[in-house]
Structure 1
Amino acid sequence: MAGVPIAIIETNILPRLPAESLPNFKLVCKSFNVLISSPEFMEEHCKRSISTNTGRLVILNTNRGFHVFNYDSLDSPPFYLPFPDNFSRRVYIFGSSNGLMCLGNRNAGSMYSYYDLMLLNPLTGMFFKVPSPEITVTWAIESYGFGFDDWTKDYKIARILETHESRSVMVYSLHANSWKTVMSDSHQKSDELKPHDNGTLINNHLLHWIFTDYVQDHPNNRIENNSRIGCFDLRTDEWVDNVGLPHDFDSTPGCYNQCETLGVFDGRLCLLTRSRLEPHLTCVDMWVMMKYGVRDSWVKLLGVSDSCVTSSLQICPLGMAYGSKHDMLLVRGTKHTIPGANRVVLIWYNMHQKKSRLSQVHKVHNLPQQFYDVCTCIKTLVPLPRDTRIRKTPPPLPEKQPSTLEIFSHSRY
């Protein structure tokens, strides 16, 4: 790069480089090291990756560790991160923000219901164990959300604890390395948190959950009545206005429409709903809010009735294929289709042809055939306080288990 002014390199070249190459440039000279290590540079690099939709990782969670792929080259060999020694074989992904992941490991030895939490940068392998919050109940539904407060430059974890009678919210601050209760409601709840869903992050600081109230269909069965999308702002640590559901979506009893889950698609809030077309045929519709907070901007992007996609009723979009307008990468869950296990597979769904096929990750040599969680994460060098590194290792040989092809082709109602 002889003859190129240093200022041009620092302002126009380094911010455009992939995150994994930046450590090499820190060794070139002192000014590069200072620049690349600065919080301002890391923040701008994150923003560029998010705005250009580049530099993404796909993390596959197995029962031993994480297989990490480049999103744009899923057929290339991944690198592997084993779980830390104090984490068991079942680790949950609660979300990601600015290249950091929030992970949970169920603490089976406690009389109370809670997770051991950890923050992990999957690119660098650096992790930080989060102190456990205090809990005074022996049974509750827990849900977590993770994001970034850009006002205070602080990473936060929101935790909802819901019992039959009450709902409370606690927030963890990485800066303070402590938890605080920001809301506790001991009165009768008017609705219930959708179980098994984590907070969906939009604009890096707004977390979203689905809440539903129910009506009694008959003495032993309840059906969903009305649903809403609640929004929690990590800037103010408060619930803010609900996000309106699509006008064309009817969640009243008897219409067989249900809000399934929330997700993020190309940086926008997306909602997956389920409707019953026939007694044994279900359609999953994907709605995308094109302009956040504007109810009229919901657009139904697609309706999937392909049984290979909807048979489990557990799908979530990850994004479009690189350079394609039709191929969408979906996570399809196989919950309850295999006794004692919740599995997921990655599939490509062609919106034009309305056909699905297995992703190429399932054809990579020596990869496990089944995964428990999948998430995407941008590549960054964001550090963690007092962090410890997980060393990247060769992937272990997969354990003998049912093949993904068998799961993919035989999981039905």
Structure 2
Amino acid sequence: MSDLPRDVLVSILSRLPAKSLGQFKSVSKYWFSLISSADFVKSHHLRAISDTNNNHSRAFIMSTPSMHSVNFESPSCYEGTEDDPKAIVSLKDPLTKDSVGERLFGSCYGLIYFVCFNECILLWNPTTQKTRLIPDPSASFSGATPFYGLGYDVSTDDYKMVRASRSVSGQSIRSEVFNLKTGSWRTIHASQIDIDESDEIGIFSNGTIHWLIRHVGGSERRDTILTFDIKKEIFGDISLPNREHEETGFTWLGDLRGCLYAVCGGDGADVDVWVMKEYGVENSWSKMIKLNWVEFRCDYVMLPVCFTLKDEVVIDLDNSWNLVRYNLSEKTIKYFKKCSTDGHDWVMYTETLVSPLATCNK
């Protein structure tokens, strides 16, 4: 392949998994230089996050003693199958390296972030194992719990970290944004949006970060979704699906191949998954699936983790590493191989070469 024109070689290599490309760097100095270049990393990154026909996503699962990266598309993840060393991979703990302890974590495409007890934020690419510790923001958000989100601005090829909080009155939002390319926090003008209780971690979809907002204290206002446009850097809101005479509330937001979805129920109740088929069009919400609580013999939490390319859904039962893969048409269940008996948390991420170390993709 050394005789191929550079653009042809880039086109071929950019279609390969990020893990394989890391190994291919040792083929030659030329390949190392090409794969390490900012242009190639960007090309591979954009292909990975836009390709919905192939699986570039994995689940990062963290329990008390361990961290794992899981390819849910692989049959080897499930009981009664042969082991594939690439299906479930043990990861080194990046928090130990930087001597910080996490209290929250989220993700956006190729990066996972940990909000630490000292308010610093650790960015981590689990594919390359590179990390970056973002310092504590300059603003002090007293009176309310901060909430966080990470988004990718395709127009500038830059990741942005958002930290925000409602004001003491609850009628406006104060926020700061950290650009990976500039390496600094910027204060965003207060947005006059009235919110009560927000999820602490936002979900990135359609160029926008989303937080589930719950109105408390007997308020007659409906729960809603707070949004932050990562390019325009402005807050807004989206209405949740209108469900008349429903007793259960919404519990989770996610992204399904570029579509925002909202999960209703799940804590001792049936689960409904609503998908916004046309982003920003509130009457395009449609109930995609319904999961019966009794069918899964679930005592507590029942939450969709991800959807496979075959339109099966992976479900987290009881938050104790009871993970199953459910075939919607055949109504069959496959049980996940247990790697721990402890409780766990998870986020989805995309395998990319993107670096948290600013613009040079070191």
TM-score, normalized by the shorter chain, greater than 0.5 = yes
> What is the distance in 1 between the residues matched to 2:281 and 2:9?
39
Give distance in 2, aligned partners of 1:355 and 1:306: 15
2:184 paired with 1:178? yes
In structure 1, the gaps of 5 or more residues are 108-114, 217-222, 335-342, 388-413
Question: Does residue 43 of the first structure (1) align with residue 49 of the second (2)?
Answer: no
CA distance in 2, matches of 1:226, 1:309: 31
Matched, 1:201 2:204: yes
Any conservation in 1 of the 2:111–2:124 contact (CA below 8 Å)?
yes
The equivalent residue for 2:238 is 243
Which residue is equivalent to 1:351? Answer: 328
Name the counterpart of 1:103.
Answer: 114
Aligned residues: 343
Residue pair 1:344, 1:373 contacting (<8 A) in 2 also: no
Shift in alpha-carbon separation, 1:40–1:147, aligned structure 2, 3 A: same
Name the CA shift for 1:377/1:152 in 2 (closer, same or farther; >3 Å): same
Decide whether the 8 Å contact of 1:193 with 1:209 is kept in 2: no
- How has the CA–CA distance of structure 1 residues 232 and 310 changed in structure 2, closer, same or farther, with 3 Å as cutoff? farther
Contact persistence 1:264–1:317 (CA under 8 A): no
Q: Does the alignment pair 1:84 with 2:96?
A: yes
Among 265, 272, 276, the residue aligned to 1:274: 265
Contact 1:57/1:70, CA 8 A, preserved across alignment: yes
> 1:118: Cα distance to partner?
0.6
Q: Tell me which residue corresponds to 1:329.
A: 314
The 5 Å alignment of 1:58-73 reads 58-73=59-74
Instruction: Give the secondary-structure state (helix, strand or coil) at the position aligned to 1:42.
Output: helix
- Deviation, 1:121, is 0.7
**If you compute each CA radius of gyration, which structure gives the higher value, 1 or 2?**
1
- Counterpart position of 1:231: 227
Taking the TM superposition and a 5 Å limit, the aligned residue runs for 1:6-155 are 6-7=5-6, 9-50=8-49, 51=51, 52-73=53-74, 75=77, 76-77=84-85, 78-82=89-93, 83-87=95-99, 90-97=102-109, 99-107=110-118, 115-155=119-159
Query: In the alignment, residue 286 of structure 2 is paired with which amino acid?
Result: V
| TM-score with structure 2 setting the length | 0.82
User: In 1, Cα distance between the equivalents of 2:164 and 2:299?
Assistant: 30
Mark the CA change 1:41 to 1:137 in structure 2 (over 3 Å): closer, same or farther.
Answer: closer
Q: Which residue of 2 aligns with 1:256?
A: 247
- Unaligned regions of 5+ residues in structure 2, if any? 78-83
The residue correspondences of 1:365-380 to structure 2 (distance < 5 A) are 367-380=339-352
CA RMSD of aligned residues (A): 3.0
Report the Cα offset of residue 206 of structure 1. 0.7
- 1:258 Cα offset (Å): 1.9
Write the distance in 2 (CA, Å) between the matches of 1:80 and 1:224.
46
